[in-house]
Structure 1
Amino acid sequence: MARYKNRKGLFDSKAPLFVQRFEAGQAAGLCGGTYRYVTWGQEILAEENEVLPAFGQHENNTPGDVELWRVLVFPQPIHRNWPRIECHAL
């Protein structure tokens, strides 16, 4: 579970990015940030265009699991128009 000390630096968002799922082996696209592995909760930091890892035979995976990641937190891009941000995988 991601943790934080001070909520002041975080903003609630309804960005479509938070409902998207990214497959393992897929690039994070334009959405660097903190990602959570959907099946068992492993969290990672990924930079823009970084490939999201696969866990394959990990003990917490069951046969047939689709390896999916979702975004928990992403930084406010300075170089983009903030109100219009929509991150999509490349």
Structure 2
Amino acid sequence: MANIDASHALRAQTREICLRIKEQHEAYQLEMHAAFDTFFSENSQALKQGFDLISTAAADDRSINAGLSCIASAMNKQLAFGSRDAFSRHLEFGRKLVF
């Protein structure tokens, strides 16, 4: 009888832990959705502009650097290379690309 009682207690404890983990996961998911909504609402215009610049430049066989810079800026990042030539030089010397 003691084994059955211990088993029931362990099962109840495990169930409670699982419920807490599930609640934490759902709360985290809501926080992440809100963060993404905020980020994209604040940066959607710059992101769209960057993709439009890339699309136009690619169609005209021009550098996509301006579009990439626009997107990077919206994401609070800087491009590692200022031009296609700088990127090519980096690769020619066998250097690693770090993302």
TM-score for both structures, normalised by structure 1: 0.23
Structure with a larger share of its residues in strand: 1
TM-score for both structures, normalised by structure 2: 0.22
